[in-house]
Amino acid sequence: MIALASDHAGFRLKEKTKALLDELHLEYEDFGPDGERPCDYPDYAYTAAKAVGSGRCDRGILACGTGIGVDMVANKVDGVRSALCTSLEMAELSRKHNDANVLSLGGRLLDWSLAEKIIRAWLSTSFEGGRHKVRVDKIHNLSGH
C-alpha cells in the first residue's frame, strides 16, 4: 500500500500519480487534499508519513510545489526515510543505498514526463542491503531514535 499526499501545488502531480499507480495495479491511500484550494502541506504530508512510519503503508509518495516542505515533514516521522528526488539517478540511489520509503516530488519543478520516470524507477528499484544496511540502521539510532 502506498500513501499519497500533497498540498495544492502538488495536487495535479498526485492525481497523475494515482492514475499511474492504477495502471501498475498498485494499491494506494490518498491522504489528501481533494482539490487545489490553498492548504498547508504539513497537515497532509504528516498524516501520510505516519502511515508509512507505523507500517500501515509500505511506502509513500508526497508532492508540494518544490518537494522540499513535504520532505522535511516526512523526515520528522520515526521510521521514515524520505528522499527528495529530481532525477532518475537520485530515485534509484535513494532506494538502492538509502532504502527510502517515501518519495518527495516538486509539482512546480518537474514536468510529468520526468516525474513519471522518477516514480517508476523508485517503485521498481530494490534496496541493496549489505554495507548500506549498516548505514541506514544508523539513521534511526541518531538522537535516541
Active site amino acids: 64, 97
Are 86 and 106 in contact, with CB atoms under 8 Å apart?
A: yes
Are 95 and 128 in contact, with CB atoms under 8 Å apart?
A: no
Q: Render the burial of 132-141: b for 16+ CB within 10 Å, e for the rest.
A: eeeebeeeee
